[in-house]
């Protein structure tokens, strides 16, 4: 069944308050949002909503055993959803947030099962765009941040390609123009005794060495 898609233009890197309220209301009703980040376009739903999370898995044709990453508004929200916040997480956050560094942390029992990785973990970051952090702050809960693509295919930085792929499949698309692209976020697992890079990315491994990563 086709979905009516509303396309919203991001002007001068900000959302008008009326647009922000419209998007927040739709997300609270389990809508799916395609939106630009500091790297590529992502798919966002409320990370606490099992129904909405399952919609993203279906859209991406993604294996349910591969959890979705998420974005939060700030460190305080990251702490609210984490069962434990090791000191290195705070150090890394101070250095690289907002930005393309994803930290895998042990989660509180507030997420749908599909959002959880090994040992009940979640992958979280604070995104670069200020308008996106403001939207998440208004929502009061994390937003999923999985790439807006079909699983196994390349990430999308061109809004025209995004619209071609997801129009009539998601409720909302924010057209922020072409995103910077490049490398996706670097992912670091902080749930084990020693930090480990799970996915090299935009934050180089050489820069992380001073944090014993």
pLDDT (tens digit per residue) in 164-199: 999 999 999 999 999 999 999 999 999 988 999 999
Q: How far apart are CA 36 and CA 157, in angstroms?
A: 8
- Specify the pLDDT at position 1: 67
How confident is the model at residue 27, as a pLDDT? 98
Place of tokens 């008008």: 16
Residues 6+ apart with CB under 8 A from 56: 32, 43, 45, 62, 68, 144, 146
Query: What local confidence, expressed as pLDDT, does residue 43 receive?
Result: 98
Lookup result for tokens 């907002």: 98
Q: What is the CATH number of domain 6-211?
A: 3.90.870.10
For the entire predicted model, the pTM comes to 0.95
What is the pLDDT, as a whole number, of residue 211?
84
Using CA atoms, how far apart are residues 63 and 71, in angstroms rounded to an integer?
21
Q: What is the spatial distance between Cα 20 and Cα 176, in angstroms, rounded to a whole number?
A: 14
Residues 6+ apart with CB under 8 A from 162: 34, 41, 148, 156, 173, 175
Segments in the chain below pLDDT 50 = none
The domain segmentation of the chain, as residue ranges, is 6-211
């Amino acid at each position: 069944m086709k979905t009516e898609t509303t396309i919203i233009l991001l002007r001068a890197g900000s959302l008008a308050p009326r647009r922000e309220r419209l998007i927040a209301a739709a997300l609270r009703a389990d809508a799916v949002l395609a939106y630009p980040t500091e790297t590529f376009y992502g798919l966002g739903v409320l990370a606490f909503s099992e129904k909405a999370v399952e919609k993203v898995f279906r859209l991406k044709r993604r294996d349910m055993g591969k959890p979705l990453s998420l974005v939060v508004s700030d460190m305080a929200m990251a702490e609210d959803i984490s069962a434990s916040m090791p000191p290195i997480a705070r150090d890394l956050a101070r250095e690289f947030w907002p930005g393309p560094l994803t930290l895998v942390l042990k989660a509180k029992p507030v997420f749908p099962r599909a959002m959880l990785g090994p040992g009940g973990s979640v992958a979280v970051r604070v995104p670069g765009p200020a308008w996106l952090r403001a939207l998440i702050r208004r929502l009061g809960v994390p937003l999923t941040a999985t790439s807006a693509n079909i699983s196994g295919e390349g990430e999308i930085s061109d809004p025209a390609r995004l619209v071609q792929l997801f129009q009539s499949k998601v409720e909302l698309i924010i057209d922020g123009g072409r995103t910077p692209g490049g490398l996706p976020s670097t992912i670091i697992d902080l749930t084990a005794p020693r930090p480990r890079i799970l996915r090299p990315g935009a934050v180089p491994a050489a820069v992380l060495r001073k944090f014993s990563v």
